[in-house]
């Protein structure tokens, strides 16, 4: 069978552990983490400045914009995992317990904290005290923490597991369904 539609990706997992070569759709999901990680590291830096500085509230509008932009991009990525990859893997390992249940729970926790931040932050013209701003920025920082660990688990455990368990046909289906999104 021709491997071109889902050929191997890079060999580095970034953690120093031996990496598994990933098929193209799994490598795409992994590669999507880099720009997301850059965005969330940027908003986390802003959140940390707000939470630790006496005049950090001046940065709150920037944080609101960073989190809103990140949330849009994260949702585009997460739907590929939630609606395509996880259900395919669940056919092999189940969904109620184990890796898929953990991944879905972490998606929900991160999304909940991003939504809490955006809801509490209100519109750009909203006036917040320093204390309110520090408290609300904590939601963004918590989402960053959850997603940092989550991305690592996907890259080092879940994606290699999917590479080993999914058949060539399933990998082709994964790629096709991701392209349709």
Give, for all 181 residues of the chain, the pLDDT tens digit: 333 333 334 444 444 445 689 999 999 999 999 999 999 999 999 999 999 987 777 899 999 999 999 999 999 999 999 999 999 999 999 888 889 999 999 999 999 999 999 999 988 777 888 889 999 999 999 999 999 999 999 999 999 999 999 999 999 999 999 999 8
Alpha-carbon gap, residue 58 to 50, rounded angstroms = 8
pLDDT (0 to 100) of residue 8? 39
pLDDT (0 to 100) of residue 6? 33
For tokens 């989190």, the residue is 67
* Distances from the Cα of 35 to the Cα of 67, 69, 123, angstroms: 14, 12, 26
Alpha-carbon gap, residue 79 to 88, rounded angstroms = 13
* pTM across the whole model: 0.85
pLDDT (0 to 100) of residue 95? 85
Alpha-carbon gap, residue 28 to 69, rounded angstroms = 20
Alpha-carbon gap, residue 56 to 59, rounded angstroms = 6
Cβ atoms of residues 21 and 8 within 8 Å: yes
pLDDT (0 to 100) of residue 18? 53
Q: Is the dihedral of CA 134, 137, 143, 149 positive or negative?
A: negative
Domains of the chain: 21-180 (1.20.120.520)
Alpha-carbon gap, residue 100 to 91, rounded angstroms = 11
Cβ atoms of residues 150 and 110 within 8 Å: yes
Alpha-carbon gap, residue 146 to 36, rounded angstroms = 13
Alpha-carbon gap, residue 121 to 134, rounded angstroms = 11
């Amino acid at each position: 069978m021709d491997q071109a539609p889902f050929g191997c990706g890079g060999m580095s997992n970034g953690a120093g552990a031996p990496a598994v070569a990933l098929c193209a759709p799994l490598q795409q999901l992994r590669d999507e983490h880099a720009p997301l990680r850059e965005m969330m590291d940027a908003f986390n830096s802003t959140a940390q400045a707000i939470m630790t500085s006496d005049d950090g509230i001046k940065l709150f509008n920037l944080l609101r914009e960073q989190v809103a932009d990140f949330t849009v991009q994260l949702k585009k990525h997460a739907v590929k995992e939630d609606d395509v990859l996880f259900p395919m893997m669940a056919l092999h390992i189940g969904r109620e317990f184990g890796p898929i249940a953990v991944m879905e729970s972490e998606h929900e926790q991160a999304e909940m904290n991003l939504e809490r931040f955006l809801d509490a932050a209100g519109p750009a013209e909203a006036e917040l005290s320093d204390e309110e701003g520090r408290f609300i920025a904590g939601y963004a920082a918590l989402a960053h923490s959850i997603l940092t660990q989550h991305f690592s688990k996907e890259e080092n455990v879940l994606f290699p597991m999917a590479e080993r368990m999914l058949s060539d046909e399933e990998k082709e289906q994964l790629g096709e369904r991701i392209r349709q999104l």
